[in-house]
Structure 1
Amino acid sequence: MKALLAVAMLALQVNPASTGAASGESVRFVFAWRGVPVGTVSLALDAGRFAYTSRHLHVREGRAGERVREVTLDVDAAGRVVGADAVPQALWLWQGPPPEGCVKGREELSGQEGPHCVTSRSPTSAEGTMLGARFRADYDAQGRLRALDVGESRFTVAAPGERLRTPPELFAAGVPVEGGTQGALKLLPSGQALRPTAPVPERLPDMTTWTPDAARALSRKVHAAFPDKGPTAADWRSGGEGEAGGCLAHALRFAALARANGQRVGLVHGLLVVDGGPARPHAWVRVALRGGGVLDLDPTSLDPVRSDTHLPLALVPPEGPGLEAGERWLSLLRGEWRVVRATRRE
């Protein structure tokens, strides 16, 4: 619980939106950390009051839920907090790339203030730093913020009126699986017949080859290193360091130990189905084998990775931000895809 909450808070401290926003407007963003959807941020400006609302994943005693936090600030016509000389950082970026130069910004939730600077800009982008953290913001042709990248976090706008499941709902309830309890899992577009999504590549260009025995031995080592299985801070560290951890921590630990031995593997973002239940977010690893082919391993459970239990959504470098994975997760949150079991006729 503390781990995911801490991660969500870190991500929320460097968020989207701007002083160009018109009164009466609102917008919602989905934010992902290392490609994993963590929550949503809603912004609203009306009659000089700026509201910032976060809904993020909250885990207690192994159960995923949602925590909501909201801050409302009175702002003047220039977008500054009334009675202060700071601009809410989300409001600063909301609409239209801010001009080059620096302002004093305020993190909405923590209240921390400091320099927010744009070092380069175009009509559809801005780059710079917020309290020393590098950021890049991208805008549409009307100057509305589309995406914000800050470190390993990404914020992506949700279209007005778009029906969107929240990330906590995805983790808690999962995605229904259609077609019974047997057969390979696959994605199909909602409301359309048998048009599969773009396939997940078999391997990444920099994956190195090794033997199945060596890969399985490392998987067993990682599994044994986590006596407690569940989300912790280890899930959000580059090497999955910790005494306890969930699936992402296991996959990151595997990748870090492999990298220390000169091996490069892929991180698989996907869905896991257990005992006929719904498909829930999961992560595992993929290694390239000498002589050709690949091997998927699930160090969290040591269960075989099979087509009827594990459904890959994206294959990404373990140390990267996982932008492709984030786009796949977002499409699921939007309801663009459904999970089905393939029949022999398919």
Structure 2
Amino acid sequence: MAALLAFLLLALPAKPANPDEVGGLHPPREETRFVFAWRGVPVGTVTLTLEGGRFTYSSRHLHTRDGQPGERRREVTLEVDGAGRVRGAEQGRASSAERARDGRGAVSEVFPQALWLWRGPPPVGCVTAREELSGLEGPHCVTRVEGSRVEGTLLGSPFRASYGEKGRLETLDVGDSRFTVAAPGTRLRSPPELFAQGLPVEGTHGALALEPPLEVSARLEGMTPWDAGAARALSARVHAAFTDKAPGAADWNENGEGEAGGCLAHALRFAARARERGVKVALVHGLLVVDGGPARPHAWVRVALAKGGTLDLDPTSLDAVRPDTHLPLALEEARGPALEAGRRWLELLRGAHRVVRRP
């Protein structure tokens, strides 16, 4: 997870008016929080702060160590000038092949990566920027700007960003990671407890639902028709393979590999084993209610049946997936960023929907 966070919110240089050139005054303090989601699952927060010529990048994210989930905090503060350049930056850190150069062949200035993306949108072109957490410097390029959307590469890795009416970063997609701005006043618990208390459930009997409702697709395109017996047998094998069913490193492995893992690891491993058989299944992001408790995040799988219809299976518990215990939020590809699931989890974090029971 640390490598993922070092990769996030990379940036390019913005060139606002230099406050040092107008009476030496700095603009008022500005601060924005982002929720970091990996494959659709919120796992941390990032806070960007600019005040008095000091830019601070702070991350708090889920970190698994020795099989136990916990929180890891990292913070870096850089002195910057009014144009967003790092004061006293050592430009020799990047190799000559990596350095962005101007028309005279001179090495470009170094900018904090997150600062420029935050205050964008950046123009088309390449610059040298520094990853705040790792200190790595190299080329960061914008290849396309279309309205409020920007595309490019960060140290060679593709990214997409979108901006709001005030020109501030709202979402950033890099690989399987997405960063989404948290609206001012949004109350978020610290990782790994973004959903620690669960969501309250209104009512005592009936099927689970959201108010206002969210539509969830019945199946993904390209799902492979499969035999129900074979699917149930695979679910039982995946269940038995995990000796430790607590959250662990397997939850962050694309194929769910590892001895310890929670519901996400079980679902990912089921999908991986199905792929080995030439079968495509869907990963279900949703909520689980047990014994009248709150609704907590959960993941399971959905299989297309050869005789028609679909079958939902929960390899973590092997319990039946029922309307009064399991509430789907989004159907996603087992591999990929799961952007729709990420958007819906954030809506729940913001309190945009209530969990209710419909008799």
TM-score by length of 1: 0.88
Larger radius of gyration: 2
Which deviates further from its counterpart, 322-331 or 94-103?
A: 94-103
Alignment of 1:288 with 2:295, yes or no, is no
CA separation in 2, counterparts of 1:168 and 1:329?
14
Percent identity over the alignment is 68
Where does residue 314 of structure 2 map in the other structure?
A: 298
Alpha-carbon offset, residue 199 of structure 1: 2.2
CA separation in 1, counterparts of 2:219 and 2:146?
36
CA separation in 2, counterparts of 1:221 and 1:82?
57
Alignment of 1:209 with 2:209, yes or no, is no
- Aligned match for 2:206, one of 183, 192, 198: 183
- Aligned match for 1:14, one of 8, 12, 32: 8
CA separation in 1, counterparts of 2:252 and 2:70?
18
Do the aligned residues in 2 keep the contact of 1:183 with 1:308 (CA within 8 Å)? yes
CA separation in 2, counterparts of 1:100 and 1:135?
13
- Aligned match for 1:36, one of 26, 32, 41: 41
CA separation in 1, counterparts of 2:352 and 2:10?
25
Which deviates further from its counterpart, 136-145 or 305-314?
A: 136-145
Task: Give the gaps of 5 or more residues in structure 2.
Answer: 17-26, 90-108
SS of the equivalent of 2:122 reads coil
Where does residue 76 of structure 1 map in the other structure?
A: 81
Alignment of 1:158-177 (within 5 A): 158-165=182-189, 168-177=192-201
Where does residue 193 of structure 1 map in the other structure?
A: none
Label 1:153 to 1:286 Cα distance change in 2 as closer, same or farther (>3 A): same
CA separation in 1, counterparts of 2:234 and 2:278?
13
- Aligned match for 2:152, one of 114, 128, 133: 128
SS of the equivalent of 1:27 reads strand
- Once superposed, what is the RMSD of the aligned Cα atoms? 2.2
Where does residue 215 of structure 2 map in the other structure?
A: 199
CA separation in 2, counterparts of 1:225 and 1:217?
12
Question: What are the Cα deviations for residues 224-279 of structure 1, in whole angstroms up to 9, with x where unaligned?
Answer: 22212122222122211222222111111111111121111110001112232221
SS of the equivalent of 1:339 reads strand
CA separation in 1, counterparts of 2:340 and 2:248?
24
Do the aligned residues in 1 keep the contact of 2:67 with 2:247 (CA within 8 Å)? yes
TM-score by length of 2: 0.85
Task: Give the gaps of 5 or more residues in structure 1.
Answer: 1-6, 190-196
CA separation in 1, counterparts of 2:249 and 2:338?
18
SS of the equivalent of 2:195 reads helix
SS of the equivalent of 2:196 reads helix
Do the aligned residues in 1 keep the contact of 2:10 with 2:154 (CA within 8 Å)? no
SS of the equivalent of 2:192 reads helix
Question: What are the Cα deviations for residues 171-191 of structure 1, in whole angstroms up to 9, with x where unaligned?
Answer: 3221122223x43222124xx
How many equivalent residue pairs? 329
